[in-house]
Amino acid sequence: MNKLDLILMGLQSLKRRKLRTFLTILGVVIGTASIIIMMSLGYGIRYSFQNDLDKMGNLTVITVMPGGRGGPDGGNQKFKSLDDSAVASFGKILGVEAVTPILESYIKLVSGKYTANVPIRGIYPETMKCLDMEISEGRLLEKNDGATIVFGSTIPFNFMDPKSANRYYDYGPPKNGQKPKVDVLKDNMSLTFDMSYNERVAPYEQNKPKTPSKLYKVKGVGILKESNQEKDYYAYMNINELKKIIKDNKKNESKSDSSSKMRQREESGYSQALVKVKNSKDVKDVQQKIKDMGFTTYSLNDYLNQLEKTSNTLQVILGGIGAISLLVAAIGITNTMVMSIYERTREIGIMKVIGASLKDIKKLFLFESGVIGFLGGVFGIIFSYIISFILNFFGKNFSKFVGPTSEGAKLSIIPIWLALFALAFSTMIGLISGYSPAKRAMKLSALEAIKTE
């Protein structure tokens, strides 16, 4: 028998038993869809984790802090200061794209009657692009910049009149789309470390002597794009310029014992440094090398690795639940093929008598079971995409009542490879389920089969 004859005979046999074939295929459809949907929920959770981490920061950036503080990385070792030489050594590690120390302070910006309390960071200007800082207005810092500032997207809305009765109501983003009270790129601004500058004075403090606050003129040159990350809430300045201002302010502070002055960090080291790695695959190795130097490190990859383990475990569990349905479907295929043998015993005997080989009979039954598995897989995939769409549609609407979710977040995600794998798996299940009945058909005696009514 040629292949075409086998295919036509197999299709005709399935067609003669329409209801049984339909119910068996339906079982495979449900089993295949169960596996795909269950695993798609796992991928949806994983995507949501990834999306949330992307909003928290860059996955290729490592935050380095001084070591030896008794933390999880430092243990009880000797304190390791994060100074310029340490920062330079990070830049020599293979795979590192850029490094910048971070000098943090807290300042007050003054523009006319308006003031804003602002956390500020001194960094190397040339690293801003590497750290994914994109400009909405103006420009980024440049290497030779002096007292210039680039603002996070929320900072322009922090200005308020500290002497106004409605100062706290006016704080934050303006109502009805109004512009910020201060144009940080055009208006004159000054910087001070006196956080009580221009604030209301309590009656019992009005007669106390007060040292005049020193103001440093600064210029705004850029506003970063909104990113929903911590950089939205900081102002940035050339680290060398910020060092000069802090040093000069310390001299000024030494002349006063006012407890309201903001005491600055000693220049023995930095609070942290940022290390940008070229390839996300190298983050773990670079991070370990920095740890080996005695420093404490942190990166979003730490969370990502843990979340991936969790999502992988969840996918295995969900996939296992779906596989139970497909196992039941496999039993159904086996049952269908065994019943087919009993009903077609005489037909099998005649095939053997007229010269059909045992391999042909085996191929016929395997083809029928394979077709059942294949069609079940095809319709299972179609059904899975419909269910996935419904889950995402109603999940999105439901989130409006529950609260804000990540942009583009989905409950169910079906990668193309998952659909193809499910199709191949369901077809393989069909073939495996039909193997035992096919072997049984091969062993039937031709003479006994012909005698069977």
Q: What is the mean pLDDT of residues 395-399?
A: 58
For the chain, give the percent of residues with pLDDT over 90.
26
Q: How confident is the model at residue 74 (pLDDT cuts 50, 70, 90)?
A: very low
Percent helix, strand, coil in the chain (nearest 5)? 55, 15, 30
In total, the chain counts a number of residues equal to 453
pLDDT at 76: 52
Distances (CA, A) of 424 to 128, 378, 430: 48, 10, 10
More confident: 450 or 222: 222
Nearest residue to 112 via CA among 201, 174, 213, 189: 189
Residue 179: the pLDDT is 77
Question: Can you tell me the distance from the alpha carbon of 222 to that of 149, in angstroms, rounded to the nearest whole number?
Answer: 7
On the question of pLDDT at 188 being above 70, the answer is: yes
Highest mean pLDDT among 202-216, 311-325, 394-408, 412-426: 412-426
Other beta carbons less than 10 A from residue 346's beta carbon? 13
Q: How confident is the model at residue 211 (pLDDT cuts 50, 70, 90)?
A: low
351 phi, psi to nearest 5 deg: -60, -40
Q: How far is CA 163 from CA 115, 166, 179, 258, in A?
A: 10, 9, 20, 21
- Given pLDDT bands bounded at 50, 70 and 90, which one contains residue 261? very low
**For residue 34, with 0-12 CB atoms within 10 Å meaning exposed, 13-18 middle and 19 or more buried, which class applies?**
buried
pLDDT tens sequence across 345-366: 666 666 766 666 777 777 877 8
What's CA 262's distance to the chain center, in Å?
Answer: 38
Task: Pull the structure tokens for residue 369.
Answer: 């079971």
Pairing of strands 114-123, 96-111: antiparallel
> pLDDT at position 242, please?
93
Compute the distance between CA of residue 10 and CA of residue 351 in angstroms, rounded to an integer: 13
Residue-wise pLDDT tens digits, 127-139 = 999 888 999 999 9
pLDDT at 259 (0 to 100): 42
Q: What is the mean pLDDT of residues 325-342?
A: 76
Q: Cα(261)–Cα(252) distance, rounded to whole angstroms?
A: 10
Among 115, 114, 133, 113, residue whose Cα is nearest residue 123: 133
Residue found under tokens 């804003």: 116
State pTM to two decimals.
0.62
Residue 425 has pLDDT above 80, yes or no: yes
- Give the range with max mean pLDDT: 186-190, 303-307, 314-318: 186-190
Give the distance, in angstroms, between the CA of residue 438 and the centroid of all CA atoms in the same chain. 48
pLDDT, position 348: 66
Alpha carbon separation from 23 to 26, 46, 211, 330 (Å, rounded): 5, 35, 89, 12
- What average pLDDT does this structure show over 214-237? 90
CA angle 111, 117, 120 (to 5 degrees): 100
Burial annotation 410-424 (CB, 10 A radius, 16+ → b, else e): bbbbbeeebbeebbe
pLDDT for res 55: 61
DSSP characters for 152-218?
-TTGGGG-B-TTSTTHHHH-SSPGGGPPPSS-TTTS-EEEESBTTTT----GGGTTS--PPPP-EEE
For residue range 106-122, list pLDDT tens digits in order: 999 999 889 999 999 99
- Chain centre to alpha carbon of residue 389: 21
- Paired tokens of 177: 């789309």
Q: What is the pLDDT of residue 72?
A: 46
Q: Hey, what are 418's tokens?
A: 């998952």
The reported pLDDT for the residue numbered 126 is: 92
Bridge-partner residues for 117, per DSSP? Answer: 108
pLDDT digits (tens, 9 = 90+) for 46-64: 777 767 666 665 778 899 9
**4: which residues sit within 8 A by CB, 6+ positions away?**
none
SS3 143: coil
Contacts of 402 (CB under 8 A, 6+ apart): none
Structure confidence at residue 381 as a pLDDT band (50, 70, 90): very high
Can you tell me the distance from the alpha carbon of 3 to that of 38, in angstroms, rounded to the nearest whole number? 38
Residue 430 near residue 423 (C-beta atoms within 8 A): no
Name which of 194, 189, 195 is nearest 213 in CA terms. 194
Residue 188 backbone dihedrals phi, psi, to 5 degrees: -70, 135
Residue 401 has a pLDDT of 41
On average, the pLDDT of the chain sits at 79
Tell me how crowded residue 143 is: count the other CB atoms within 10 A of its CB: 9
- Place 200 in a pLDDT band, splitting at 50, 70 and 90: low
| CA 98, 104, 106, 108 torsion-angle sign | negative
pLDDT at 266: 43
Residues 199/111, Cβ–Cβ less than 8 Å: no
- Average pLDDT of span 66-81: 61
Confidence band (pLDDT; 50, 70, 90) for 8?
confident
Beta carbons within 8 Å of 335's beta carbon, 6+ residues apart: none
More confident: 245 or 210: 245
Model confidence pLDDT, tens digit, residues 127-181? 999 888 999 999 999 988 889 999 999 999 888 887 776 655 555 555 556 678 8
Percent of the chain beyond pLDDT 70? 76
